[in-house]
Amino acid sequence: MSDEIVFVCTADGCDEGPWEGSHDAMAHCAEHPEHGYTGRPRSEVNEVIPATATRKRDNRNLQHKGHPKGALAQDD
């Protein structure tokens, strides 16, 4: 993700955002089914809401080869 892009809600009449992180825009729009978001160049907007911290997740296949520890298994 480029530091030159921010995210704004595209719903008519919604003035939420712009957000520095897409996950913040996604969280807002998930609460309002008729809303959506898109990226905008940072130069087109004034004040930007800083991105919230996110946790790193292990997205590996946790059922790797049927082992209960999945991709974390050492002896498969």
In a domain, 17, yes or no: yes
Backbone angles phi, psi at 12, to 5 degrees: -60, 130
The token pair at 61 is 């296949």
Contact 26, 20 (CB under 8 A): no
In a domain, 13, yes or no: yes
Give the tens place of pLDDT for each residue, 7-33.
Answer: 999 999 988 889 888 888 888 888 888
The token pair at 31 is 């609460």
DSSP designation for 39: E
Domains: count for the chain: 1
In a domain, 18, yes or no: yes
Q: Provide the residue range defining the domain that includes 9.
A: 5-44
Give the tens place of pLDDT for each residue, 30-69.
Answer: 888 889 888 888 888 888 888 887 777 665 655 555 656 6
In a domain, 55, yes or no: no
In a domain, 32, yes or no: yes
In a domain, 63, yes or no: no
In a domain, 73, yes or no: no
What's the CA gap between 39 and 15, in Å, rounded? 15
In a domain, 9, yes or no: yes
